[in-house]
Structure formats: structure tokens, C-alpha cells
Amino acid sequence: MTRRNVFHRCLIGLAVTLLFTALQAAPPEPLELLENKLLDMRFKLRGVMPAGDDVVIVTIDEKSIKSIGRWSWDRDVFAELLYTLTDAEPSVIAFDVIFSEPAAHDPELARAIDYAGNILLPLVFDFTGELGHSGVGKDLDPFALRQIDNPEVYGTYQPITADYVLQPRPELADVSMGLGQINMHPDNDGILRWELMLIAHEGRLVPSITLLAAAMHKGVSLDRIRVDAGKSITLADQVIPTDHFGRMLIPYYGPTKTFPHYSIADILNGDIPADALANKVVLIGATAVGIYDLRVTPFAAAMPGVEKHASVISSILEGKTLSSAPLWFESLLLISSGLLLTILLRRTGAISSLLISVGFGLALLIIAVAVFIQGQIWFNLSAPLLNFASIYTAVMVYSFRIEERSSRYIRNLFSSYVTERVVHELIHHPEMARLGGDRRDVTVLFSDIKGFTSFSEKHSPQEVVTLLNEYLTAMTDVIFRWEGTLDKFVGDEIMVFWGAPLPQTDHAERAVRCALEMRQRLVELQQKWGEQGLEQLDAGIGINSGEVLVGNIGAEGKKMDYTIIGDHVNLGARVEALTRNYGTPILVTEQTLAAIKNSSDGGLPEDLLLDKVDEVAVKGREEKVKVYSLAKT
């Protein structure tokens, strides 16, 4: 692979990484959807987290409905329940039941709420105006958060805002410890992942009932709850991280019944010991299927909403809230991992690149799960994983295109020189053909028809071309059979070499055996021409071995040929010319003889006969060159 291609791979990886860095900063919906699913996966890989003993759920379940009667119940039932619970001395009792309509037994329930002194009642903000009322913000003043730091942040990130609210009956609200909203907003895929810790209504920030319950259990009054706009909520010395909109990522402990459940029927019958409820946050809510207070969560397709309340409250009390990694950290992780992967993929093949990319993804996944479980930190995993996949895909597409172009170039360049098998080998291993130039030990063969000029003058052009084409075709078949590289035809002259583009340790022996077969094939042609009454052509062959320069040589962008140049090439041509002087069809130099012996463990194959003819002076060389005639025993 060239430096230019490596550089282009790096540029591609960098560009893809920067693209996903921008997407991560302002993720489109598909990226958010994938990240939400990866968050759900982390919950499932973590498994059930043991719940503390601070929160219990008193349930409106099938057993209670069967015992007390069909839902909804008269409020004297809840009054009786509160008296029973109060005797067990829980720290906080929070309802997940709305008492918005007047009922006959409201005075009884109000007396029970006042008697308990630790009751939190829910309210629901209505975003459609179908159920709630507007213009009642002043009624919520006693229950709104008062300490807001950096409120100017809400100019950029406005908190969840509602114009309408559905409140509990005033006579009940006035004697309660506080009111908290219980709104739930699932994500676009229907799964509930975020707790609305506060909702804005007519200039007031109303806390969630879960935040109030945790604060009251810790002994933190409403006016000591501090909101750092767009960042966190503080209870005394405990910081609860939120997003820009005042939402908290729900740290689900597990599926349904992760927290203790006590049926209201059992409470009223006195079957639950008081110490099971003492100093606990008691949540009263519905778990019966027919009441339809069921939510889709990462752990279950139908979890009672009160179970979500329990997870939020318990996580605050135990300090197990989840926090999101800051954007700068996610961007740094994305860029550094993307650049590292790009560097590792700059020279690798498809399979190696795939293994490295998958390895990066698995490593990041393991780290993300470990950080989520051990550190309660959630960082964006979808952008890096998609970045890894996109870098791999983009780099491979680029590489395949380059390889396809290179393969086409190699095929076009070598298809006239070598056999199809060699072309395929070069396509799969292009490094074997150093097109930019390389020094190789090769063996070169020159063959030239004797007396071709006079033959051409005595025959018509059509006869000359027909006979020459028949001769060259036959010789080419032999050359390709011995896997020689056919350099060129110069009129009636043939130039062939072995040892490039593919390395051939036995290049010298291949050349001499090819020469012998070429001679045999020429004899067969001579017999055929004689029988046809045609003039019989004869040819001489010269062979030499040595180091030459091999590569794609010519005029850049105009005419390029894969060929060899050097002193040993010139010597091969001169040796071929000597065949006329010594009357032998094939002459081989001492360098070729030495190369044959080197490739044959120091000996000469028994079926080859090489006889010394002479030591000749060659132009350009000080020392004489030994030449040998070649024949087959």
C-alpha cells in the first residue's frame, strides 16, 4: 500500500470521526433511539441491584380488590389504612393515587392525613388541558421549590412546562406534608427512562413526589432543597445530577417486586408486623393489572408506576443515582478512539480490519458496562460504536476501490506479458510487482529469425505477416507454458525474461528449458512449412542471467511498459547475435550456467547438455564472457 493510500485512509477515518462528534453533540433521533437501547442493555447486563430497606410498597393489588371490593374505593378505606400505617411509625407515606374529585368521606380522610402528619399527596400536570385547570399557580406556592441557582440557564434550556394541573382536593392538600407531581414522560419508543424531578407551572418549579419523599425521609425541608438550573438538585449535602431540563435518569433496581410489596388487605387485617414499616418510606399505589397504572421499562414491558417511584427514592437515599458523562468527555472518547482505530487500520486488510474494529467495539462495550455498574455513570456508546463501524466501512470501501483500480491496472499491464495465473497472483499480491522499479536477479532470453530481412524482401507483405504471426504465436505458447514474462516483439525478435514480476528461484533453468522447447517447436514448424512448399525460417536464441532494473518504464501518462534494463539485458542480446557466428541455435552465458547450478544444489540437471563454445569479448566489458551451446541429452 502506497503512502498516499495510507494518508487517504487516515483522512477518511478523521472525517468520519469528526462527523460523529458533531452528531453526538446534537444527536438526531436515530442516534438517540440506538443509545436508549444500549442503555437498556446496560441495565439488563447489570441485572437486579439489591434494594435497600428504606422503601416499601403498599399495594392496591388483586388480593386487596378481592377483599375490599372493586376499584375505586371509598375514601374511608384509605383513612383506615392511614391510621393503621401511622401506628407502625413510617417516616413518610406517599400516595400514588389522585384524590381530585370530591367524595363523601373526604373529611374522614383529611382527619387521617392530619393525624399522620407525614403524608405526601400527588398532583398531575396536564399538557393537553383536558383534565387540569390553569390559573391556579398561587395554590401551589407552598409546595414549590424556592432556592434556584443560575436561573438564567432556563433561558436556553427551558424546564418541562405545563399550563394545566390536576390537584388533590383542597381539604386534603391543606393538611398534607406536601404535594409532588407524578408525571411520567416515556421516550419515543414508549420506554420510561427519565424522572421529571421538577415541572414549571406559571413561574413556579414543582418537585416530583419522589424528590419530596426522599428529602422528607432525610429530614430536608422544602426550603432547603436547592436547584442548580440545568445541572443538579441538592438535598443538604447530597447532589442529584439532572440533565438540562431537570430530568433524572431513572436508576431502575430491577423488574417488578424488586422492592417489598405489602397488600393493603394484609395491612388492614394486621398481618404485617409494624417493624416492616417502621421508619420506612411507604408508597401507596396500584399494582393490579386492571387499574392500568403500568409502564414499559428496560426491565419489564408492564411495571407498576409505583415501582418506578421506589427505584428513584431508594437511589437518592442510597446515593446510587446515575449521572451522564459530560459532553467534553464523550467527545474526547469519541475522537481519541476513532483516531486510534484509524491509525491501526491504515495498513491492514479486510479481515484484520474487521477483527480490530470488532475488538474496539467489544472493548468499549465492556468499559461502558463496567463504568455503568461500578461508577453509576452513563456515557454515550452509540456514537463511538457507529463511528467504528463507519470508519471500517469507509476505509474498506476506499481500499476496495483502490484495489479494484489497481487490479484493473495490473491486469491491463500484464495480461499481454504473462499467463492468466500470474496475473491473478499479481492482483492478489500486488507487492510482488514493484511497478516503481526494483532490482532483481533475472534470466533474459532473446530470439531472432536469421535472414529475416532478405526473406521479407523476397515475399509479399501478406506472406511475411502470415508466416511471422504463426511463428510468434507458437513461440508465445511455449513461453507462457514456462511462465516467462513476454517483454516485447521487435519485428521478428522476441524478448522474454524470468524472475519478475513474480520471484522464480529457478528462473535460469526455466529459461533454458523454454529455449529447448522453442527450438523443438520451430523444427516442427519447419517440417510443416517444408511440406507446404514454404521457405523454412530459422532462429537463434541467446540467454543470460544477472541483476537488472525491472519496472514500469516509459513516458508517464503516455506510454509505459513493464520491462527490464541493464548491462545483463544488453549482454543477452549480443549473445543471441553470436549464434550466427558459431552455427549453434542456442547460446547460454556462464552467468546462466552458474544460476542453474545454484538452483539445483550445485549440480547441472542430467538431461541438460551445456558445452563450452568460446570465450568472447563483448562490447562494454573488460573481461571475456564464456558462452555455452545448449542441447538436451
Q: Which residue has the higher pLDDT, 412 or 77?
A: 77
Query: Which among 372, 274, 524 has a CA at the least distance from the CA of 46?
Result: 372
- What is the band of 434 on the pLDDT scale with cuts at 50, 70, 90? low
Query: Which among 56, 38, 330, 70 has a CA at the least distance from the CA of 193?
Result: 38
pLDDT of the residue at 444: 95
**Residue 202: inside a domain, yes or no?**
yes
39-76 burial code (b ≥16 CB/10 A, e <16): bbbbbeebeebebeebbbbbbbbeebbeebeeeebebb
**Rounded to whole angstroms, how far apart are CA atoms 373 and 307?**
20
Residue 88 pLDDT > 70: yes
Residue 454 pLDDT > 90: no
- Residues 554 and 527 reside in one and the same domain: yes
pLDDT of the residue at 509: 93
Dig out the grid coordinates for 203 from the structure: 413561574
**Residue 247: inside a domain, yes or no?**
yes
| Domains held by the chain: number | 3
- Residues 479 and 610 reside in one and the same domain: yes
Are 380 and 442 within 8 A, CB to CB? no
CA-to-CA dists, residue 96 to 185, 201, 291, 370, 390, angstroms: 16, 21, 12, 34, 47
DSSP, res 338: H
- Residues 243 and 362 reside in one and the same domain: no
- What is the band of 237 on the pLDDT scale with cuts at 50, 70, 90? confident
pLDDT of the residue at 228: 95
DSSP string covering 71-116: SSPPHHHHHHHHHHHHHT--SEEEE-S---S--TTHHHHHHHHHHH
First to last CA, the chain: 47
Domain boundary residue, one of 291, 319, 347: 319
CA-to-CA dists, residue 277 to 54, 180, 236, angstroms: 9, 22, 25
Q: What is the pLDDT of residues 467-484, one digit of tens each?
A: 999 999 999 899 989 988
Q: Hey, what's the torsion of the CAs at 221, 223, 228, 232, to 10 degrees?
A: 20
**Cα maximum dimension of the chain:** 134
**Residue 150: inside a domain, yes or no?**
yes
**Rounded to whole angstroms, how far apart are CA atoms 464 and 468?**
6
Mean pLDDT within 121-131: 90
**Rounded to whole angstroms, how far apart are CA atoms 292 and 61?**
12
CATH of the domain at 480: 3.30.70.1230
- Residue 314: how many CB atoms within 10 A of its CB? 23
**Rounded to whole angstroms, how far apart are CA atoms 364 and 342?**
16
Query: Is 497 strand, coil or helix?
Result: strand
**Rounded to whole angstroms, how far apart are CA atoms 207 and 179?**
8
Find the angle CA(360)-CA(365)-CA(369) to the nearest 5 degrees: 150
Dig out the grid coordinates for 629 from the structure: 551451446
Are 116 and 175 within 8 A, CB to CB? no
* Helix (H) and strand (E) counts in the chain: 18, 27
Domain range holding 345?
A: 3-23+326-409
Mean pLDDT within 287-311: 90
Burial class (CB in 10 A: 0-12, 13-18, 19+), 155: exposed
**Residue 221: inside a domain, yes or no?**
yes
DSSP, res 299: S
Domain boundary residue, one of 285, 319, 353: 319
Domain boundary residue, one of 319, 336, 360: 319
Strands (E) across 361-436 are located at: 377-378
- Residues 437 and 404 reside in one and the same domain: no
- Residues 493 and 554 reside in one and the same domain: yes
- Residues 71 and 169 reside in one and the same domain: yes
pLDDT of the residue at 329: 93
Residues 6+ apart with CB under 8 A from 210: 94, 180, 195, 197, 309, 312, 313, 316
Q: Which residue has the higher pLDDT, 291 or 498?
A: 498
Residue 202 pLDDT > 80: yes
Ramachandran category for residue 387: left, alpha or beta (phi over 0 → left; psi -120 to 50 → alpha): alpha
- Residue 178: how many CB atoms within 10 A of its CB? 21
- Residue 213: how many CB atoms within 10 A of its CB? 31
Are 100 and 167 within 8 A, CB to CB? yes
- Residues 256 and 315 reside in one and the same domain: yes
Query: Is 229 strand, coil or helix?
Result: coil
CA-to-CA dists, residue 536 to 126, 216, 492, 524, angstroms: 107, 116, 14, 11
**Residue 8: inside a domain, yes or no?**
yes
400-422 burial code (b ≥16 CB/10 A, e <16): eebbeebbeebeebbeebbbeeb
- Residues 312 and 330 reside in one and the same domain: no
Query: Which among 337, 288, 372 has a CA at the least distance from the CA of 62?
Result: 288
- Residues 294 and 352 reside in one and the same domain: no
**Residue 419: inside a domain, yes or no?**
no
Q: What is the pLDDT of residues 591-624, one digit of tens each?
A: 999 999 988 777 788 888 889 999 988 777 778 9
* Share of residues in the chain with pLDDT > 90 (%): 64
pLDDT of the residue at 554: 67
Q: What is the pLDDT of residues 355-382, one digit of tens each?
A: 999 999 999 999 999 999 999 999 999 9
**Rounded to whole angstroms, how far apart are CA atoms 87 and 408?**
88
Say which residue the cell 421516550 belongs to: 187
**Residue 45: inside a domain, yes or no?**
no
**Residue 359: inside a domain, yes or no?**
yes
**Rounded to whole angstroms, how far apart are CA atoms 547 and 567?**
9
**Rounded to whole angstroms, how far apart are CA atoms 229 and 246?**
7
Residue 198 pLDDT > 80: yes
Query: Which among 38, 75, 383, 91 has a CA at the least distance from the CA of 218?
Result: 91
- Residues 304 and 444 reside in one and the same domain: no
- Residue 427: how many CB atoms within 10 A of its CB? 18
- Residues 11 and 109 reside in one and the same domain: no
Q: Give the predicted TM-score (pTM) of the model.
A: 0.70
What type of residue is 29?
E
CB-side neighbour CA atoms (13 Å) of 54 = 19
Please give the mean pLDDT across all residues of the chain: 89
Mean pLDDT within 257-279: 96
pLDDT of the residue at 417: 47
- Residues 403 and 312 reside in one and the same domain: no
DSSP, res 604: -
